[in-house]
Structure 1
Amino acid sequence: MFQLAVCAEMVFRELPFVERVRAIARLGFQVEIWDWTKHDIDALVSTGAVFSSMTGYISGDLVTRPGAAQLLETAEQSIEVAKRLRCPRLNLHGTGLGRQGLPMTPAAATTGDMWLAAYRTLSDVAQLGRRAGVTFCLENLNTDVDHPGVPFARAADTLALVAAVDSAHLRLNLDLYHAQIGEGNLIELVRRALPYVGEIQVADVPGRCEPGTGEIHYPAIARALAEAGYRGTIALEAWASGSNELSLQRFRDAFTV
Protein backbone atom coordinates (compact mmCIF):
# COMPACT_ATOMS: atom_id res chain seq x y z
CA MET A 1 0.00 0.00 0.00
CA PHE A 2 2.85 2.40 0.84
CA GLN A 3 6.19 2.87 -0.90
CA LEU A 4 8.80 2.05 1.75
CA ALA A 5 12.24 3.66 1.78
CA VAL A 6 15.22 3.49 4.13
CA CYS A 7 17.85 6.12 4.89
CA ALA A 8 21.24 4.65 4.02
CA GLU A 9 23.01 7.08 6.36
CA MET A 10 21.69 5.30 9.46
CA VAL A 11 21.65 1.52 8.84
CA PHE A 12 24.27 -1.05 7.76
CA ARG A 13 26.85 1.39 9.09
CA GLU A 14 29.50 -1.32 9.21
CA LEU A 15 29.49 -1.34 5.38
CA PRO A 16 30.94 1.14 2.88
CA PHE A 17 28.20 3.52 1.78
CA VAL A 18 27.63 2.03 -1.67
CA GLU A 19 27.30 -1.42 -0.12
CA ARG A 20 24.72 -0.04 2.31
CA VAL A 21 22.68 1.14 -0.65
CA ARG A 22 22.93 -2.25 -2.30
CA ALA A 23 21.90 -4.02 0.92
CA ILE A 24 18.82 -1.84 1.33
CA ALA A 25 17.82 -2.31 -2.30
CA ARG A 26 18.28 -6.10 -2.08
CA LEU A 27 15.77 -6.15 0.77
CA GLY A 28 13.20 -4.47 -1.45
CA PHE A 29 13.32 -0.88 -0.17
CA GLN A 30 13.90 2.42 -1.91
CA VAL A 31 16.90 4.42 -0.68
CA GLU A 32 17.32 7.87 0.82
CA ILE A 33 20.57 9.81 1.26
CA TRP A 34 21.57 13.04 2.96
CA ASP A 35 24.35 15.35 1.71
CA TRP A 36 25.11 14.18 -1.83
CA THR A 37 28.46 16.01 -1.87
CA LYS A 38 29.84 13.32 0.48
CA HIS A 39 29.10 10.44 -1.90
CA ASP A 40 30.34 9.04 -5.22
CA ILE A 41 27.31 9.69 -7.41
CA ASP A 42 28.53 7.49 -10.27
CA ALA A 43 28.90 4.60 -7.82
CA LEU A 44 25.42 5.19 -6.45
CA VAL A 45 23.94 5.20 -9.94
CA SER A 46 25.70 1.91 -10.67
CA THR A 47 23.87 0.17 -7.80
CA GLY A 48 20.58 0.26 -9.71
CA ALA A 49 18.79 1.28 -6.50
CA VAL A 50 15.65 3.42 -6.59
CA PHE A 51 16.40 6.69 -4.80
CA SER A 52 13.38 8.37 -3.27
CA SER A 53 14.86 11.43 -1.52
CA MET A 54 18.10 13.34 -0.98
CA THR A 55 19.14 16.62 0.59
CA GLY A 56 18.20 19.35 -1.87
CA TYR A 57 20.77 22.02 -1.04
CA ILE A 58 24.34 22.31 0.22
CA SER A 59 24.16 25.52 2.24
CA GLY A 60 22.01 28.57 2.82
CA ASP A 61 18.89 29.52 4.71
CA LEU A 62 15.34 30.73 4.15
CA VAL A 63 15.50 34.19 5.66
CA THR A 64 18.64 36.20 4.84
CA ARG A 65 19.36 37.56 1.37
CA PRO A 66 22.80 35.92 1.09
CA GLY A 67 21.47 32.71 2.63
CA ALA A 68 18.50 32.52 0.29
CA ALA A 69 20.70 33.15 -2.74
CA GLN A 70 23.06 30.41 -1.58
CA LEU A 71 20.21 27.99 -0.95
CA LEU A 72 18.78 28.56 -4.43
CA GLU A 73 22.17 28.26 -6.10
CA THR A 74 23.00 25.00 -4.35
CA ALA A 75 19.45 23.71 -4.91
CA GLU A 76 20.09 24.03 -8.66
CA GLN A 77 23.29 22.01 -8.26
CA SER A 78 21.34 19.41 -6.28
CA ILE A 79 18.72 19.13 -9.02
CA GLU A 80 21.41 18.05 -11.50
CA VAL A 81 22.51 15.28 -9.12
CA ALA A 82 18.88 14.28 -8.49
CA LYS A 83 18.40 13.86 -12.23
CA ARG A 84 21.37 11.49 -12.39
CA LEU A 85 19.94 9.46 -9.51
CA ARG A 86 16.36 9.74 -10.85
CA CYS A 87 15.45 11.01 -7.41
CA PRO A 88 12.08 12.82 -7.39
CA ARG A 89 12.25 14.62 -4.03
CA LEU A 90 14.82 16.99 -2.55
CA ASN A 91 14.77 17.75 1.15
CA LEU A 92 15.01 21.21 2.78
CA HIS A 93 15.29 22.56 6.34
CA GLY A 94 14.72 25.95 7.92
CA THR A 95 18.45 26.56 7.75
CA GLY A 96 21.57 24.63 6.85
CA LEU A 97 22.61 21.98 9.36
CA GLY A 98 26.20 21.55 10.49
CA ARG A 99 27.93 19.02 12.72
CA GLN A 100 25.60 16.92 14.89
CA GLY A 101 22.57 18.53 13.23
CA LEU A 102 23.12 21.96 14.75
CA PRO A 103 21.91 24.93 12.68
CA MET A 104 24.45 26.96 10.74
CA THR A 105 22.28 30.03 11.41
CA PRO A 106 20.50 29.51 14.74
CA ALA A 107 17.48 31.62 15.63
CA ALA A 108 16.49 32.52 19.17
CA ALA A 109 13.06 33.64 17.90
CA THR A 110 11.23 33.70 14.58
CA THR A 111 10.01 37.19 13.63
CA GLY A 112 7.31 38.27 11.20
CA ASP A 113 9.97 39.49 8.77
CA MET A 114 11.57 36.03 8.87
CA TRP A 115 8.24 34.39 8.01
CA LEU A 116 7.79 36.69 5.01
CA ALA A 117 11.35 36.08 3.85
CA ALA A 118 10.89 32.30 4.19
CA TYR A 119 7.70 32.49 2.14
CA ARG A 120 9.51 34.37 -0.64
CA THR A 121 12.46 31.96 -0.66
CA LEU A 122 10.23 28.88 -0.70
CA SER A 123 8.15 30.37 -3.51
CA ASP A 124 11.36 30.69 -5.53
CA VAL A 125 12.30 27.12 -4.60
CA ALA A 126 8.90 25.90 -5.80
CA GLN A 127 9.39 27.66 -9.15
CA LEU A 128 12.80 26.02 -9.44
CA GLY A 129 11.20 22.64 -8.79
CA ARG A 130 8.45 23.29 -11.33
CA ARG A 131 10.95 24.11 -14.07
CA ALA A 132 13.04 21.01 -13.28
CA GLY A 133 10.15 18.62 -12.71
CA VAL A 134 11.15 17.75 -9.12
CA THR A 135 9.55 18.31 -5.73
CA PHE A 136 11.24 20.02 -2.83
CA CYS A 137 10.10 18.88 0.61
CA LEU A 138 10.40 21.04 3.73
CA GLU A 139 11.11 18.85 6.77
CA ASN A 140 10.00 19.55 10.31
CA LEU A 141 12.63 19.03 13.03
CA ASN A 142 12.64 18.93 16.81
CA THR A 143 14.50 21.60 18.75
CA ASP A 144 14.36 19.89 22.15
CA VAL A 145 16.73 16.97 21.45
CA ASP A 146 18.40 17.02 18.03
CA HIS A 147 18.26 20.46 16.38
CA PRO A 148 18.11 23.35 18.89
CA GLY A 149 17.91 26.76 17.26
CA VAL A 150 16.51 25.70 13.88
CA PRO A 151 13.87 28.22 12.70
CA PHE A 152 10.54 26.97 11.31
CA ALA A 153 11.21 23.61 12.92
CA ARG A 154 7.80 22.50 14.16
CA ALA A 155 5.42 20.63 11.88
CA ALA A 156 2.94 23.45 12.44
CA ASP A 157 5.53 25.88 11.01
CA THR A 158 6.45 23.80 7.96
CA LEU A 159 2.78 23.11 7.25
CA ALA A 160 1.94 26.82 7.41
CA LEU A 161 4.73 27.72 4.99
CA VAL A 162 4.01 24.95 2.49
CA ALA A 163 0.28 25.71 2.56
CA ALA A 164 0.98 29.41 1.99
CA VAL A 165 3.18 28.73 -1.06
CA ASP A 166 0.61 26.15 -2.25
CA SER A 167 2.67 24.55 -5.03
CA ALA A 168 2.79 20.92 -6.14
CA HIS A 169 6.58 21.36 -6.24
CA LEU A 170 6.89 22.28 -2.56
CA ARG A 171 5.53 19.68 -0.15
CA LEU A 172 6.07 18.52 3.41
CA ASN A 173 8.56 15.93 4.52
CA LEU A 174 6.53 15.11 7.61
CA ASP A 175 8.91 13.53 10.11
CA LEU A 176 6.87 11.84 12.83
CA TYR A 177 9.87 11.22 15.10
CA HIS A 178 10.53 14.95 15.29
CA ALA A 179 6.82 15.75 15.58
CA GLN A 180 6.34 13.37 18.50
CA ILE A 181 9.10 15.11 20.46
CA GLY A 182 7.93 18.62 19.62
CA GLU A 183 4.16 18.35 19.27
CA GLY A 184 2.61 14.87 19.62
CA ASN A 185 -1.00 14.09 18.59
CA LEU A 186 0.41 12.35 15.51
CA ILE A 187 -2.72 10.86 13.96
CA GLU A 188 -4.50 14.20 13.99
CA LEU A 189 -1.33 15.82 12.62
CA VAL A 190 -1.09 13.48 9.64
CA ARG A 191 -4.78 13.93 8.86
CA ARG A 192 -4.42 17.70 8.91
CA ALA A 193 -1.17 17.76 6.94
CA LEU A 194 -1.95 15.06 4.38
CA PRO A 195 -3.01 17.37 1.52
CA TYR A 196 0.48 18.88 1.58
CA VAL A 197 2.60 15.80 2.30
CA GLY A 198 5.32 14.78 -0.14
CA GLU A 199 6.60 11.97 2.06
CA ILE A 200 6.58 10.78 5.65
CA GLN A 201 9.63 9.82 7.71
CA VAL A 202 9.54 7.69 10.84
CA ALA A 203 11.58 6.56 13.84
CA ASP A 204 10.53 5.72 17.37
CA VAL A 205 10.84 7.86 20.51
CA PRO A 206 13.02 7.86 22.54
CA GLY A 207 16.20 6.64 20.88
CA ARG A 208 15.38 7.25 17.21
CA CYS A 209 15.37 3.54 16.35
CA GLU A 210 12.93 1.50 14.26
CA PRO A 211 9.19 1.22 15.04
CA GLY A 212 8.44 -0.96 18.03
CA THR A 213 11.36 0.23 20.14
CA GLY A 214 9.63 3.19 21.81
CA GLU A 215 6.37 4.89 22.62
CA ILE A 216 4.84 5.52 19.15
CA HIS A 217 2.26 2.96 18.04
CA TYR A 218 3.07 3.04 14.34
CA PRO A 219 0.56 0.34 13.24
CA ALA A 220 -2.24 2.68 14.34
CA ILE A 221 -0.69 5.53 12.35
CA ALA A 222 -0.37 3.22 9.33
CA ARG A 223 -4.07 2.37 9.55
CA ALA A 224 -4.98 6.06 9.83
CA LEU A 225 -2.87 6.87 6.77
CA ALA A 226 -4.44 4.04 4.77
CA GLU A 227 -7.95 5.10 5.76
CA ALA A 228 -7.15 8.69 4.74
CA GLY A 229 -6.04 7.48 1.30
CA TYR A 230 -2.29 8.01 1.58
CA ARG A 231 -0.35 5.83 -0.85
CA GLY A 232 2.96 7.67 -0.93
CA THR A 233 6.42 7.12 0.51
CA ILE A 234 7.12 6.28 4.13
CA ALA A 235 10.83 6.33 4.93
CA LEU A 236 12.71 4.88 7.87
CA GLU A 237 15.16 7.52 9.08
CA ALA A 238 16.28 5.64 12.17
CA TRP A 239 19.16 3.80 13.80
CA ALA A 240 18.96 0.02 13.93
CA SER A 241 18.45 -1.08 17.53
CA GLY A 242 20.28 -4.35 16.80
CA SER A 243 20.28 -6.41 13.61
CA ASN A 244 19.88 -4.22 10.55
CA GLU A 245 17.75 -6.84 8.79
CA LEU A 246 15.47 -7.25 11.81
CA SER A 247 15.10 -3.49 12.19
CA LEU A 248 14.04 -3.13 8.56
CA GLN A 249 11.61 -6.04 8.92
CA ARG A 250 10.03 -4.36 11.96
CA PHE A 251 9.64 -1.20 9.89
CA ARG A 252 7.99 -3.17 7.08
CA ASP A 253 5.69 -4.98 9.51
CA ALA A 254 4.56 -1.72 11.12
CA PHE A 255 3.48 -0.32 7.76
CA THR A 256 1.91 -3.46 6.27
CA VAL A 257 -1.87 -2.93 6.47
Structure 2
Amino acid sequence: MRLAVCAEMVFLNLSFTERVRRIHDAGFDVEMWDSRTKDLKALKATGAVFSSMTGYTSGSLVDADTADDVVRTAESLIPAALELGVSRMVVHSAELIDGRAAHPLYRSTGRMWSTGVRTLERLGALGEKHSVIFCLENLNTILDHPGIPLARAKDTLALVEAAGHPNVKLMLDLYHAQLGEGNLIELLRTALAHIAEVQVADVPGRCEPGTGEINYAAVAKALADAGYEGTVGMEAWASDGSEAALDAFRAAFTLQDADSIALKGTP
Protein backbone atom coordinates (compact mmCIF):
# COMPACT_ATOMS: atom_id res chain seq x y z
CA MET A 1 0.00 0.00 0.00
CA ARG A 2 1.12 3.53 -0.78
CA LEU A 3 0.49 6.12 1.91
CA ALA A 4 -0.59 9.70 1.21
CA VAL A 5 -1.29 12.69 3.45
CA CYS A 6 -3.70 15.54 2.81
CA ALA A 7 -1.66 18.74 2.81
CA GLU A 8 -4.74 20.81 3.56
CA MET A 9 -4.92 19.48 7.13
CA VAL A 10 -1.36 19.25 8.51
CA PHE A 11 1.56 21.68 9.03
CA LEU A 12 -0.98 24.50 9.01
CA ASN A 13 1.59 27.06 10.14
CA LEU A 14 3.49 26.62 6.86
CA SER A 15 2.77 27.75 3.32
CA PHE A 16 1.04 25.13 1.21
CA THR A 17 4.17 24.48 -0.84
CA GLU A 18 6.20 23.94 2.33
CA ARG A 19 3.53 21.55 3.66
CA VAL A 20 3.86 19.51 0.48
CA ARG A 21 7.64 19.50 0.81
CA ARG A 22 7.48 18.30 4.41
CA ILE A 23 5.05 15.51 3.55
CA HIS A 24 7.17 14.44 0.58
CA ASP A 25 10.38 14.50 2.63
CA ALA A 26 8.68 12.26 5.18
CA GLY A 27 8.09 9.66 2.47
CA PHE A 28 4.38 10.15 1.74
CA ASP A 29 2.41 10.99 -1.38
CA VAL A 30 0.30 14.16 -1.22
CA GLU A 31 -3.42 14.82 -1.44
CA MET A 32 -4.78 18.31 -2.11
CA TRP A 33 -8.11 20.03 -2.59
CA ASP A 34 -8.73 23.02 -4.87
CA SER A 35 -5.84 23.28 -7.33
CA ARG A 36 -6.95 26.71 -8.57
CA THR A 37 -5.54 28.43 -5.48
CA LYS A 38 -2.14 26.73 -5.66
CA ASP A 39 1.20 27.57 -7.31
CA LEU A 40 1.42 24.50 -9.53
CA LYS A 41 4.98 25.14 -10.69
CA ALA A 42 6.21 25.44 -7.12
CA LEU A 43 4.35 22.29 -6.12
CA LYS A 44 5.78 20.34 -9.03
CA ALA A 45 9.27 21.52 -8.12
CA THR A 46 9.03 19.82 -4.72
CA GLY A 47 9.25 16.44 -6.44
CA ALA A 48 6.18 15.20 -4.55
CA VAL A 49 3.89 12.51 -5.91
CA PHE A 50 0.35 13.86 -5.93
CA SER A 51 -2.22 11.22 -5.14
CA SER A 52 -5.51 13.07 -5.59
CA MET A 53 -7.15 16.46 -5.91
CA THR A 54 -10.65 17.91 -6.08
CA GLY A 55 -12.12 17.11 -9.49
CA TYR A 56 -14.89 19.70 -9.92
CA THR A 57 -15.78 23.16 -8.63
CA SER A 58 -19.52 23.61 -9.13
CA GLY A 59 -22.71 21.74 -9.83
CA SER A 60 -24.20 18.54 -8.50
CA LEU A 61 -23.84 15.29 -10.38
CA VAL A 62 -27.30 14.17 -9.20
CA ASP A 63 -29.06 17.40 -10.24
CA ALA A 64 -30.17 17.46 -13.89
CA ASP A 65 -30.05 21.28 -13.89
CA THR A 66 -26.41 21.54 -12.80
CA ALA A 67 -24.80 18.22 -13.81
CA ASP A 68 -23.34 19.87 -16.91
CA ASP A 69 -21.42 22.22 -14.57
CA VAL A 70 -19.79 19.23 -12.90
CA VAL A 71 -18.50 17.89 -16.21
CA ARG A 72 -17.50 21.35 -17.49
CA THR A 73 -15.53 22.26 -14.37
CA ALA A 74 -14.01 18.80 -14.20
CA GLU A 75 -12.67 19.27 -17.71
CA SER A 76 -11.29 22.70 -16.76
CA LEU A 77 -9.22 21.09 -13.97
CA ILE A 78 -7.70 18.38 -16.16
CA PRO A 79 -4.67 20.53 -17.16
CA ALA A 80 -3.74 21.04 -13.50
CA ALA A 81 -4.05 17.32 -12.84
CA LEU A 82 -1.88 16.48 -15.80
CA GLU A 83 0.75 19.06 -14.84
CA LEU A 84 1.06 17.60 -11.34
CA GLY A 85 0.69 13.98 -12.42
CA VAL A 86 -2.50 13.52 -10.40
CA SER A 87 -4.24 10.29 -11.32
CA ARG A 88 -7.37 10.60 -9.14
CA MET A 89 -9.85 13.48 -9.22
CA VAL A 90 -12.44 13.52 -6.45
CA VAL A 91 -16.11 14.34 -6.91
CA HIS A 92 -19.14 14.27 -4.60
CA SER A 93 -22.84 13.81 -5.10
CA ALA A 94 -23.58 17.50 -4.46
CA GLU A 95 -22.07 20.94 -4.79
CA LEU A 96 -20.10 21.85 -1.66
CA ILE A 97 -19.39 25.32 -0.32
CA ASP A 98 -16.91 25.26 2.57
CA GLY A 99 -17.78 21.61 3.03
CA ARG A 100 -21.51 22.18 3.27
CA ALA A 101 -24.22 21.41 0.76
CA ALA A 102 -24.84 24.43 -1.43
CA HIS A 103 -28.48 23.38 -1.76
CA PRO A 104 -29.37 20.98 1.08
CA LEU A 105 -31.69 18.13 0.19
CA TYR A 106 -32.84 15.51 2.66
CA ARG A 107 -34.57 13.05 0.36
CA SER A 108 -33.20 11.19 -2.66
CA THR A 109 -35.29 10.52 -5.73
CA GLY A 110 -35.11 8.18 -8.68
CA ARG A 111 -34.33 11.13 -10.92
CA MET A 112 -31.31 12.00 -8.77
CA TRP A 113 -30.14 8.42 -9.05
CA SER A 114 -30.43 8.23 -12.83
CA THR A 115 -28.86 11.67 -13.28
CA GLY A 116 -25.95 10.67 -11.05
CA VAL A 117 -25.28 7.53 -13.06
CA ARG A 118 -25.35 9.42 -16.36
CA THR A 119 -23.04 12.13 -15.02
CA LEU A 120 -20.56 9.54 -13.78
CA GLU A 121 -20.63 7.90 -17.21
CA ARG A 122 -19.73 11.26 -18.76
CA LEU A 123 -16.94 11.76 -16.25
CA GLY A 124 -15.69 8.27 -17.03
CA ALA A 125 -15.43 9.14 -20.71
CA LEU A 126 -13.55 12.33 -19.81
CA GLY A 127 -11.23 10.40 -17.54
CA GLU A 128 -10.57 7.79 -20.19
CA LYS A 129 -9.62 10.53 -22.66
CA HIS A 130 -7.06 12.02 -20.27
CA SER A 131 -5.98 8.90 -18.34
CA VAL A 132 -7.35 9.98 -14.97
CA ILE A 133 -9.86 8.32 -12.66
CA PHE A 134 -12.81 10.21 -11.25
CA CYS A 135 -13.45 9.05 -7.70
CA LEU A 136 -16.83 9.46 -6.04
CA GLU A 137 -16.29 10.04 -2.33
CA ASN A 138 -18.79 9.02 0.32
CA LEU A 139 -19.64 11.63 2.97
CA ASN A 140 -21.38 11.53 6.31
CA THR A 141 -24.62 13.49 6.57
CA ILE A 142 -24.84 13.24 10.36
CA LEU A 143 -22.12 15.72 11.33
CA ASP A 144 -20.03 17.23 8.55
CA HIS A 145 -22.19 17.24 5.43
CA PRO A 146 -25.93 17.42 6.20
CA GLY A 147 -28.26 17.76 3.26
CA ILE A 148 -26.21 15.83 0.69
CA PRO A 149 -28.24 13.15 -1.10
CA LEU A 150 -26.83 9.76 -2.12
CA ALA A 151 -23.72 10.42 -0.06
CA ARG A 152 -23.41 7.31 2.10
CA ALA A 153 -20.92 4.64 1.18
CA LYS A 154 -23.62 2.20 0.11
CA ASP A 155 -25.09 4.87 -2.19
CA THR A 156 -21.78 5.89 -3.74
CA LEU A 157 -20.86 2.23 -4.29
CA ALA A 158 -24.19 1.59 -6.02
CA LEU A 159 -23.75 4.64 -8.25
CA VAL A 160 -20.23 3.60 -9.26
CA GLU A 161 -21.37 0.05 -9.96
CA ALA A 162 -24.26 1.32 -12.07
CA ALA A 163 -22.00 3.65 -14.07
CA GLY A 164 -19.81 0.66 -14.85
CA HIS A 165 -16.89 2.64 -16.25
CA PRO A 166 -13.23 1.74 -15.51
CA ASN A 167 -12.40 5.43 -15.04
CA VAL A 168 -15.05 5.86 -12.34
CA LYS A 169 -14.15 4.46 -8.91
CA LEU A 170 -14.68 5.02 -5.22
CA MET A 171 -12.79 7.29 -2.89
CA LEU A 172 -13.83 5.30 0.16
CA ASP A 173 -13.53 7.51 3.23
CA LEU A 174 -13.62 5.40 6.38
CA TYR A 175 -14.08 8.38 8.71
CA HIS A 176 -17.31 9.29 6.96
CA ALA A 177 -18.38 5.65 6.74
CA GLN A 178 -17.84 5.07 10.46
CA LEU A 179 -20.04 8.05 11.35
CA GLY A 180 -22.77 7.10 8.93
CA GLU A 181 -22.71 3.31 8.66
CA GLY A 182 -19.97 1.45 10.55
CA ASN A 183 -19.06 -2.18 9.76
CA LEU A 184 -15.93 -0.91 8.04
CA ILE A 185 -14.11 -4.16 7.32
CA GLU A 186 -17.13 -5.73 5.64
CA LEU A 187 -17.62 -2.50 3.68
CA LEU A 188 -14.02 -2.69 2.47
CA ARG A 189 -14.46 -6.29 1.36
CA THR A 190 -17.72 -5.52 -0.44
CA ALA A 191 -16.39 -2.43 -2.21
CA LEU A 192 -12.82 -3.64 -2.87
CA ALA A 193 -13.13 -4.10 -6.64
CA HIS A 194 -14.36 -0.51 -7.04
CA ILE A 195 -11.95 1.30 -4.71
CA ALA A 196 -9.35 3.64 -6.19
CA GLU A 197 -8.20 5.03 -2.84
CA VAL A 198 -9.07 4.67 0.83
CA GLN A 199 -9.09 7.75 3.07
CA VAL A 200 -8.76 7.58 6.84
CA ALA A 201 -9.22 9.64 9.98
CA ASP A 202 -10.40 8.61 13.42
CA VAL A 203 -13.77 9.12 15.11
CA PRO A 204 -14.56 11.34 16.94
CA GLY A 205 -12.47 14.40 16.07
CA ARG A 206 -11.26 13.52 12.57
CA CYS A 207 -7.66 13.27 13.70
CA GLU A 208 -4.96 10.70 12.86
CA PRO A 209 -5.44 6.96 13.40
CA GLY A 210 -5.13 5.97 17.04
CA THR A 211 -6.96 8.97 18.47
CA GLY A 212 -10.45 7.51 18.44
CA GLU A 213 -12.61 4.41 18.23
CA ILE A 214 -11.64 2.89 14.87
CA ASN A 215 -9.35 -0.14 15.03
CA TYR A 216 -7.08 0.86 12.19
CA ALA A 217 -4.70 -2.00 12.88
CA ALA A 218 -7.53 -4.38 11.99
CA VAL A 219 -8.43 -2.25 8.97
CA ALA A 220 -4.84 -2.36 7.71
CA LYS A 221 -4.70 -6.12 8.13
CA ALA A 222 -8.03 -6.58 6.35
CA LEU A 223 -6.80 -4.52 3.40
CA ALA A 224 -3.57 -6.50 3.21
CA ASP A 225 -5.39 -9.82 3.50
CA ALA A 226 -7.69 -8.75 0.66
CA GLY A 227 -4.67 -7.98 -1.53
CA TYR A 228 -5.24 -4.22 -1.65
CA GLU A 229 -2.21 -2.53 -3.21
CA GLY A 230 -3.65 0.95 -3.74
CA THR A 231 -3.26 4.17 -1.80
CA VAL A 232 -4.39 4.91 1.73
CA GLY A 233 -4.66 8.64 2.34
CA MET A 234 -4.77 10.36 5.71
CA GLU A 235 -7.33 13.15 5.41
CA ALA A 236 -7.15 14.12 9.07
CA TRP A 237 -6.19 16.89 11.46
CA ALA A 238 -3.14 16.46 13.66
CA SER A 239 -4.14 16.02 17.29
CA ASP A 240 -0.77 16.94 18.79
CA GLY A 241 1.74 18.00 16.15
CA SER A 242 1.88 17.12 12.48
CA GLU A 243 5.06 15.05 12.68
CA ALA A 244 3.53 12.85 15.38
CA ALA A 245 0.35 12.48 13.32
CA LEU A 246 2.31 11.29 10.30
CA ASP A 247 4.25 8.84 12.43
CA ALA A 248 1.03 7.43 13.90
CA PHE A 249 -0.48 7.06 10.43
CA ARG A 250 2.58 5.24 9.14
CA ALA A 251 2.60 2.90 12.13
CA ALA A 252 -1.09 2.07 11.74
CA PHE A 253 -0.63 1.05 8.11
CA THR A 254 2.69 -0.74 8.39
CA LEU A 255 1.57 -4.33 8.41
CA GLN A 256 4.10 -5.58 10.96
CA ASP A 257 2.89 -2.92 13.39
CA ALA A 258 -0.72 -3.67 12.54
CA ASP A 259 -0.24 -7.37 13.28
CA SER A 260 1.47 -6.79 16.58
CA ILE A 261 -1.13 -4.27 17.73
CA ALA A 262 -3.98 -6.55 16.67
CA LEU A 263 -2.51 -9.35 18.80
CA LYS A 264 -2.43 -7.25 21.95
CA GLY A 265 -5.06 -8.39 24.42
CA THR A 266 -5.32 -11.86 22.82
CA PRO A 267 -5.46 -14.50 25.57
TM-score > 0.5 by shorter chain:
yes
Give runs of aligned pairs for residues 104-183 of structure 1, distance below 5 A.
Answer: 104-183=102-181
CA distance in 2, matches of 1:191, 1:62: 26
AA aligned to 2:43 is L
Unpaired runs of at least 5, structure 1: none
Match of 2:81 in 1: 82
TM-aligned CA deviation for residue 77 of structure 1:
1.1
- SS of the equivalent of 2:212 reads coil
Match of 1:27 in 2: 26
- Provide the identity percentage: 56
Q: Distance in 1 between matches of 2:51 and 2:132?
A: 11
Cα deviation code 1:164-221 (max 9, x no counterpart): 1111100000000000000000000000000000000000000000000000000101
Runs of 4+ in 1 over 4 A off after TM superposition: none
Query: Conserved in 1, the CA contact under 8 Å of 2:64 and 2:112?
Result: no
SS at match of 2:3: strand
Residue in structure 2 matched with residue 65 of structure 1 by the alignment: 64
Match for residue 245 of structure 1?
243
Q: Is the 8 A contact 1:199 1:232 kept in 2?
A: yes
Matches within 5 A, 1:191-202: 191-202=189-200
CA contact (8 A) 1:61 1:105 kept: no
TM-score by length of 2: 0.94
Residue 161 of structure 2 aligns to which amino acid in structure 1? A
Equivalent residue pairs, number: 255
Deviations 1:221-254 (A, max 9, x none): 1001100010100000000001211110100000
Alignment RMSD: 0.8
Structure 2 runs not aligned, ≥5 long: 256-267
Contact 1:102 1:147 in 2 (8 A): yes
Equivalent residue letter for 1:189:
L
Q: Distance in 1 between matches of 2:164 and 2:64?
A: 22
Name the aligned partner's letter for residue 175 of structure 1: D
Please give the alpha-carbon distance, in whole angstroms, between the structure 1 residues aligned to 2:215 and 2:58. 35
**1:204 to 2:202 alignment:** yes
| Higher mean C-alpha deviation, range 102-111 or range 226-235 | 102-111
Q: Using the alignment, how far apart are the partners of 2:181 and 2:6 within structure 1?
A: 23
The answer to whether the Cα contact below 8 Å between 1:6 and 1:237 also exists between their aligned partners in 2 is: yes
